[in-house]
Structure 1
C-alpha cells in the first residue's frame, strides 16, 4: 500500500466547504443527484473511450447506491472511467476558474448564496458535505498503468491521498459517513429510491438502490421518433401526468439551433380550470442531460399554453447548486421562443388538416388559449388560431375562424363584426344586431369577457378591421341590400318630423342627465329604442368589465336612440301632437329607458320599471274592456 499524503485545500475550496458544512440549506437530498450525475458523466466517458479504442469493456455500465445503517454510511459506486491521482487532485482539490474574492463575498452572504455556488464553479461533488462528516473516494482510472487511489476528507481544511496496491475494476466508489442527525434519513432505502426517481429517473444507465433498479422508465424524448409507438407515448404521458386517459396529441421535437434540446410535449384531452386550482399546475419539466433541474418550469411556455404537459432536455444550460435557479436566461428565452413557435405551428397544421379535430382541441383548451392575446410577438399566429361562435352557425357549439368569416363575408365588406352577450338567445334579441340580421351580415358572438380583450388586442385580421356591432358605421352597412321583407310604415311627414324633434327633446327633458342625448336611430327596425356609448369606442361589455375592475356601480350615461318607424314611437308622436303635457309621454320615456338598461345589464333596481308595467297593463286592460273587444 502506498504512502498516505496530506494536501491542503486551496483557500477558495475551504471557504466553499465552510459554507456547505454549516449550511441550513433544506434541500440536502440534492447531494445524491449530484453524485449520480457525476457517475453518469463518468460512464459516458468510459463508453466513449471504449468505442474510440475499439476494445470491449467487460464491466456492465451501472450506478449502485448502497447503505449501511449501523455504520451510518451511504455509498455510490459506478463502473465509469475513473480517475488518476492527478485527475483526482485536479477535479476535487481545486475549483476551476474561481475567484477567491467572490467566494469570500458568498461566504459572508451565507446560506442564501448557495443557489449560485456550484453552477458558477462546477463543483457539484462538494454538496455531499451538507450531509457528510467524512467522505472517502476510491477510484481507478481506465488508463492501463493507473493504480487505485483513495481520497479522504472531513471537508474542513485538507484531504488525504493514498495509492492502493490491490487490483480493482475501473470506476469510482464514494462512501459518505453521514452526519448523526441525517443518518436515519439517508440510510432509508425507500427514501433514497424516491430521491432517485424524482431527480435522476431518466439517467441513461441503470441505477440500483439496494440491489433494485430504480430508473425503469425510458427517456423517450431522447429516442428517434420513428422508433416510438403510440402506446409508448401514451404510457409515458400517463406516468408524467397521472392522467388515466391517453393524450389528445403528441409533439416530439429535436432542435440543434439556436440552442440544442429535445422536447416531448402532450396536449391532454381535457383542460384545467384556468382560473382555479389548475392554473398553477402547469409547466414543462426541465432536464439537463437527463437530470431533472426543475419540475414544472413556468418560463418555458407562456401561461396561455399552460395546457401543454411534457419535458425539455438540453445539453447547453449551466446549472447551479440547487438546479432550481437557472443562470443563463438568454438560453432559456431561446428555448422558450422555439418551443412556442413549434406549438403554434403544430396547432396551425392541425387546424388546416382536420378542422373537426382542432375544434375538439379548442373546446377543451380554447378558454386558456385566448390569454395569448398578450403575446404580441406571435400575434398573427394567434389570430389564425382563435375560434368564435357566430350568427352564421346553428348553435353555440359551432366554431369559426377569422379566415372563414372573411371567406363568407359580403363583397366589398372590409370589416369583421362582433358582439358580446351571455348567450346566443340574448344576442338574438340585441337591438344592436337588428340591422345585421336584416342584411344577413355575419356577426361573431363573444360569450366570455376575455373575448373583448382578444378583439381589442388584434384590431384587424388580413386587412379587415375588427369592429363591434354597436359601433358599426351605418353608411358601410347601407350598401348591403336588405335580405328580409320589412313592414315599414309610411315615411314621416314634414309635420311628423317636427313632432319627432319635439318628442326627442321632451324625452331628453324627462330623462335629464341619465342620458347624454336622445336621437333618431338608423340601425333599429324591430326595437323601439337602444342605448349607445357616446364616445363610440368602448363597447358596452368592455365598459362593464372596466367598471367591475374599478368597483364602479354607477349607471353610465349613454345615448338613447329612438326608432321612428316603431309603432310605439308613432303612437307617442300622435299623443304628443294632441297634448304636449300628456303624462303617458313621461311614463313611456322612463319605461323605454329602463327597459334598454335592463337589456344592457345595467338596471340594478327594477322596482320602478315593474310598477310602471303593472300600471300600464291595468290601464290598457281597462281600455281593452271599454272597447268591447
Structure 2
C-alpha cells in the first residue's frame, strides 16, 4: 500500500459540509442523482477520448449500484475516465465557485431549500453527506501508468488520500457508509431502483442496481426521427403518462437556435378535467443532458396547452440549476416561446391537412385550448385554431373556423357575427337572430361562457370585425336582401304612429324601473319584443357572466324593444286607441316583459307569469268557443 496523507478541507468546504449535515433536507435521495450524473460525465469523457483515438472504449461503459444491508453501505461504481491524485484533490477538496458565505446566509434565513443551494453552487458530490457517516472514493485515471487513489472522509474537517498498489480498471468507486437512520432506506434495492427511475432513467449508459438493469427505456427524444417507429413512440408515451391508449398525436423536434434542445411531446386522445383535479397534473418533464431536473415543469407551456405531455432536454442549462433560478432564466423563456410556436404550428398544419382529424382534437381539448385567448403574443395563430358551432352547420356537432365563416359571408359583409346561448335550439328561437335568419346571414353559436371572452379578446380576424348579433348595426344588415318575400302588414299611418308613441310611454309606466327604456325595434320580425343592454357594449350573456362572478343575483335593467309589425302589438294599438286605461295593456306589457326575461334566463320567480298565462288562456278560450259556434 502507498503512503496515506491527511489534508484539511478548505474553510468554505467545511462550512458547506456543516450546513449539509445539519440541514433539515427533505429530499435526501437527490444525492444518488448527483453521483450518477458525475459517473455519466466520466463515461462520456471516455467515449469522447475513444472517438478521438479512432477506437472503442476498452471496458464496457456502465454504472453499477450495489448495497450491503449488513455492512450498511451503498457503492456506486463506474468505468469512466477516473481521476489522478491532483484531480481528486482539485475536484473534491475545493469548490470551484465557492460563494459559501452567501450559501450559509441563505441556509440560515431558510429562504431556499437545500436542493436549490446544491444546484446553485455546483456542489452535488457533497450532498452524499446528508446520508453518510463516511465516504470512500477509490479511483484510477485512464492516463497511462496512473496509480489507483483512495480518498476517505467523514465529511467534517479533513480527508485522507492514499495511493494503492492494486491493479484495477480505470473508473471510480464510491462507497457510502450510511447513517443509522438512512441504512434501511438506501440498502433497499426496490427503493434504489425507484430513485434511479425517477431521476436518472434516461442516462445514456446502463445503470445496474444489483444484477438488474434499471434504465431500460430509451431516451427517444435524442434519437433521429426517421429511425423511430410509431410503436416506439406509443411505448414511450405509455411509460411517461400511464395512459393505456396510444397517443392521439406525436410532435418530435430538435432545435439548435435560439436555444439548443430536444423535445418529444404527445397529445392524448382524451382531455382531462381542465378546471378540476387535473390542473396540477400538467407540464413537461425538464431534463438537462438526460438528467431529470424537474418533473412536470409548469413554465414551459402555458396552461391552455396543458393537454400536451412530454419531455424537453436541453444542453444549455446548468445540470443543477435551482427551481428559483429556472423561473427567471432567460433560456427557459426562449425554450417556452419556441415550444408554444411549434405546438400551434403543428395544430395549424393538422387543421389544414385534415379537418376531420382536427375536429377530433378540438372535441377532446378545445374547451381547455380556448383559454389561450389571453396569449396575446400568439393572437393570430390562436384565432386560426379556435372553432365554433354555426347557424350554417347541420347540427351542434359541426365546427366552423373564422376563415371558413369568411368564405360563406355575403359580399360587402365585413363582420363575423356571433351569439351566445345555452343550446342550438335556444339560439334558433332567439329574437336577436331573427333578422339574420331572415336575410341568411351566418351566426357563430357560442355555448360556453369562455367563448365570450375569446370574442372579446380577439375583436377581429383577417380584416373582419367580431360583432355580437345583439349589437349588430341594423343599417348594415338592411343592405342585404331577405331570402323570402316578407309578409309585412301595412305601414303604420301617422295616427297609428302617434298612438304607438303613447303606447310605448304607457308600457314604460307599467314596467317602471324594470326597464330603462321602451322603444320600437327594427330588428324583429317574428317576435313581439326583445331585451337589449342599455349601453350597447356589453352583451347580455357577458353581463350575466360578470354578475355570476360578482354574486349579483338581481335582475338588471334592460331596454325593451317592441316590434310594431307584430299582430299582438297591432291589437294592443287598437285596444289602447279605444281605451288608454284598458287593463289588458297592463297585463300584456307585464306578460311580454316577463316572457323576454324568461328567454334571457333572468326570471327567477315565474308565478305571476304562469297566473297571467292561465287567465289569458281562459279568456281567449271563451272567445275561441264563441267564434266556432
Same fold (TM over 0.5): yes
Structure 2 gaps, min length 5: none
Residue 578 of structure 1 pairs with residue 584 of structure 2: no
Residue 377 of structure 1 pairs with residue 377 of structure 2: yes
**Which residue in the other structure is 2:263 paired with?**
263
**Which residue in the other structure is 1:114 paired with?**
114
CA distance in 2, matches of 1:113, 1:278: 26
CA distance in 2, matches of 1:534, 1:128: 70
Residue 246 of structure 1 pairs with residue 277 of structure 2: no
**Which residue in the other structure is 2:505 paired with?**
505
8 Å contact kept, 1:15–1:103:
no
Residue 340 of structure 1 pairs with residue 373 of structure 2: no
8 Å contact kept, 1:319–1:326:
no
Q: What pairs up with 1:527-538 in 2 under 5 angstroms?
A: 527-538=527-538
**Which residue in the other structure is 2:440 paired with?**
440
**Which residue in the other structure is 2:60 paired with?**
60
SS where residue 247 of structure 1 aligns?
coil
**1:48 to 1:22, Cα distance in 2 relative to 1, 3 A:** same
**1:152 to 1:63, Cα distance in 2 relative to 1, 3 A:** same
Residue 70 of structure 1 pairs with residue 77 of structure 2: no
CA positional deviation for 1:109: 3.0
CA distance in 2, matches of 1:17, 1:392: 71
**Which residue in the other structure is 1:195 paired with?**
195
**Which residue in the other structure is 1:229 paired with?**
229
CA positional deviation for 1:180: 0.2
SS where residue 106 of structure 1 aligns?
helix
CA distance in 2, matches of 1:442, 1:210: 69
CA positional deviation for 1:328: 5.3
CA positional deviation for 1:571: 0.2
Residue 458 of structure 1 pairs with residue 458 of structure 2: yes
CA distance in 2, matches of 1:520, 1:469: 18
CA distance in 1, matches of 2:397, 2:138: 68
Structure 1 gaps, min length 5: none
**Which residue in the other structure is 2:424 paired with?**
424
**Which residue in the other structure is 2:609 paired with?**
609
Q: What pairs up with 1:8-23 in 2 under 5 angstroms?
A: 8-23=8-23
**1:113 to 1:270, Cα distance in 2 relative to 1, 3 A:** closer
SS where residue 501 of structure 1 aligns?
helix
CA positional deviation for 1:55: 4.1
CA distance in 2, matches of 1:57, 1:546: 68
CA positional deviation for 1:116: 2.8
Kindly report structure 1 stretches of 4+ aligned residues shifted beyond 6 Å. Answer: 321-325
CA positional deviation for 1:326: 2.7
CA distance in 1, matches of 2:558, 2:595: 14
CA positional deviation for 1:112: 4.1
**Which residue in the other structure is 1:402 paired with?**
402
CA positional deviation for 1:33: 0.7
**Which residue in the other structure is 1:5 paired with?**
5
8 Å contact kept, 1:61–1:206:
yes
Tell me the C-alpha RMSD between the 2 structures: 1.3
CA distance in 2, matches of 1:297, 1:246: 23
SS where residue 180 of structure 1 aligns?
coil
8 Å contact kept, 2:19–2:104:
no
Q: Which moved further from structure 2: 525-534 or 485-494? A: 485-494
Residue 594 of structure 1 pairs with residue 594 of structure 2: yes
8 Å contact kept, 1:119–1:327:
no
CA distance in 1, matches of 2:92, 2:98: 13
CA positional deviation for 1:627: 3.2
CA offsets, 1:341-396, max 9 Å, x none? 00000011111111111111111100000000000000010000000100011000
Q: What pairs up with 1:253-292 in 2 under 5 angstroms?
A: 253-292=253-292
**Which residue in the other structure is 1:84 paired with?**
84
**Which residue in the other structure is 1:172 paired with?**
172
**Which residue in the other structure is 1:42 paired with?**
42
The number of aligned residues is: 629
CA positional deviation for 1:111: 8.4
CA positional deviation for 1:289: 0.9
CA distance in 2, matches of 1:332, 1:197: 25
SS where residue 138 of structure 1 aligns?
strand
CA positional deviation for 1:136: 0.2
CA positional deviation for 1:169: 0.1
**1:349 to 1:435, Cα distance in 2 relative to 1, 3 A:** same
CA offsets, 1:116-172, max 9 Å, x none? 322222111011000000000000000002100000000011111111111110000
**Which residue in the other structure is 1:389 paired with?**
389
TM-score, length of structure 2 as denominator length: 0.98
